């Protein structure tokens, strides 16, 4: 008697859970993805975002502590986040800085409830970047390219940026990757690959560099992530050995 009460109680809970899940779907309340863009650079920067629809929106982020939470909905295709020095936060400056900047490329729900993301130096490099999933939706686990945390930091752009690459001017103030949009590595792209092995250094350099995590996860994009607790966390995360979530590389728009 007790036992059958328990069973019917369990069925009731299950039915309630199914009903709640169905009403979430009906109401469109399935979690929208949030991306927390944070600035740990010692200077004010403007961070910009766009998706394949094209509109560029920029935010001024205070030195060391500035952050902007963006809600990108349940599907965000060809999402890009990049930055440039200064507080102008104008879409014109943002557009001009983009070819002079490294990009955080994030697609939310690109296919079968999977997000994909990577760092790209295909255009150029100007500010250190890191992408980190802050909450991981089931059945995701952190393991390598599954829900991992790519980062890229070049400490001295001036000494890094040698021919054939070249320094750009404002607004991006970056190092232009002269052969970045090509399909084969050159000495120029190899300099980027050596400095930032986790970032894409030329168009076809995607093997082992595109991360995936289940849709429903949230992310942070950190500018100038060096010397932070995140870097320490990342080392701990890398040490964990967990099952691998299936990864399908996604063509991203650099
Ligand atoms: C975004 O990041 C900033 C800086 O780390 C933090 O203070 C803030 O609480 C974060 N926002 C959310 C919603 O997590
Ligand atoms: C791009 O972002 C806008 C604004 O958030 C959104 O309305 C639109 O659906 C997005 N487009 C794609 C292709 O993700
Ligand atoms: C994720 O990791 C946890 C803890 O290590 C494990 O119990 C779980 O089975 C893993 N899930 C998947 C889908 O690999
Ligand atoms: C960066 O490199 C340039 C060129 O080698 C050098 O002149 C400059 O002092 C370096 N800056 C820092 C902060 O080390
Ligand atoms: C690299 O870029 C330079 C300058 O545009 C060009 O002359 C050269 O052909 C490129 N090399 C390759 C292998 O794409
Ligand atoms: C580069 O990638 C494109 C798109 O995936 C592919 O069509 C092309 O064959 C690749 N080229 C080389 C040289 O690998």
Q: In the chain, what are the domain boundaries?
A: 1-30, 31-239
Confidence band of 34 (pLDDT split at 50, 70, 90): very high
Mapping DSSP to helix (H, G, I), strand (E, B) and coil, where does residue 143 land?
A: strand
| Cβ-based neighbours of 167, under 8 Å, separated by 6 or more | 157, 158, 161, 173, 174, 175, 176
Mapping DSSP to helix (H, G, I), strand (E, B) and coil, where does residue 110 land?
A: strand
Q: Is 135 in the pocket of ligand 2 (CB under 6 A)?
A: no
Distances 50 to 2, 24, 176, 232 between C-alpha atoms, Å: 58, 28, 21, 30
- Looking at the predicted structure, is the pLDDT value of residue 68 above 50? yes
| DSSP annotation string for 181-201 | TSSS--HHHHHHHHH-TTEE-
Q: What is the pTM of this model?
A: 0.83
Q: How far apart are CA 6 and CA 111, in angstroms?
A: 40
* 139-153, 197-211, 227-241: the lowest-pLDDT one: 227-241
Give pLDDT tens digits for 74-98.
999 999 999 999 999 999 999 999 9
Are residues 170 and 253 in contact, defined by beta-carbon separation less than 8 angstroms? Answer: no
- Average pLDDT over all residues of the chain: 84
pLDDT of residue 18: 41
Mapping DSSP to helix (H, G, I), strand (E, B) and coil, where does residue 93 land?
A: helix
Give pLDDT tens digits for 170-227.
999 999 999 999 999 999 999 999 999 999 999 999 999 999 999 999 999 999 998 5
And the tokens for 196? 């930032």
Q: Hey, which CATH number is domain 31-239, 3.10.450.100, 2.60.34.10, 2.60.110.10, 3.90.1070.10? A: 2.60.110.10
Of the chain, the percentage scoring pLDDT greater than 70 comes to 77
56 C-alpha to center of ligand 2: Å?
11
Q: Is 67 in the pocket of ligand 1 (CB under 6 A)?
A: yes
Asked if the peptide bond before residue 164 counts as cis, ω within 30 degrees of 0, the response is: yes
Q: Is 141 in the pocket of ligand 3 (CB under 6 A)?
A: yes
Q: How far apart are CA 173 and CA 188, in angstroms?
A: 18
Q: How far apart are CA 25 and CA 34, in angstroms?
A: 18
CA dihedral 82, 230, 86, 210 (to 10 degrees): -10
Q: Is 228 in the pocket of ligand 3 (CB under 6 A)?
A: no
pLDDT of residue 31: 78
Mean pLDDT of all residues in 4-20: 43
* Ligand 6 atom nearest to 184, measured from its CA: 13
Sign of dihedral through CA atoms 182, 191, 95, 67? positive
Mean pLDDT of all residues in 108-122: 97
Q: How far apart are CA 96 and CA 211, in angstroms?
A: 27
Q: How far apart are CA 85 and CA 174, in angstroms?
A: 10
Mean pLDDT of all residues in 146-152: 96
Mean pLDDT of all residues in 17-35: 56
């Amino acid at each position: 008697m007790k036992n059958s009460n328990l069973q019917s109680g369990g069925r009731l809970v299950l039915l309630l859970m199914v009903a709640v899940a169905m009403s979430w779907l009906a109401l469109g309340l399935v979690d929208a993805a949030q991306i927390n863009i944070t600035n740990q650079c010692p200077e004010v920067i403007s961070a910009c975002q766009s998706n394949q629809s094209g509109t560029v929106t920029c935010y001024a982020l205070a030195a060391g502590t500035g952050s902007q939470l963006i809600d990108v909905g349940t599907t965000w295709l060809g999402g890009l986040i990049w930055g440039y020095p200064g507080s102008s936060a104008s879409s014109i400056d943002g557009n001009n800085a983009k070819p002079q900047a490294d990009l955080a490329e994030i697609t939310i729900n690109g296919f079968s409830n999977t997000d994909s993301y990577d760092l790209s130096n295909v255009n150029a490099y100007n500010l250190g970047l890191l992408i980190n999933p802050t909450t991981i939706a089931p059945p995701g686990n952190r393991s390598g390219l599954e829900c991992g945390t790519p980062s890229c930091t070049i400490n001295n752009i001036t000494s890094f940026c040698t021919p054939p690459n070249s320094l750009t001017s404002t607004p991006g103030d970056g190092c232009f990757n002269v052969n970045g949009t090509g399909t084969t590595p050159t000495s120029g792209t190899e300099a980027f690959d050596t400095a930032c092995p986790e970032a894409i250094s030329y168009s076809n350099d995607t093997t082992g560099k595109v991360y995936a995590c289940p849709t429903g996860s949230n992310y942070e994009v950190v500018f100038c992530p060096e010397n932070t607790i995140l870097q320490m966390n990342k080392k701990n995360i890398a040490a964990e050995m967990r099952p691998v979530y299936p990864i399908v590389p996604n063509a991203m728009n650099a």
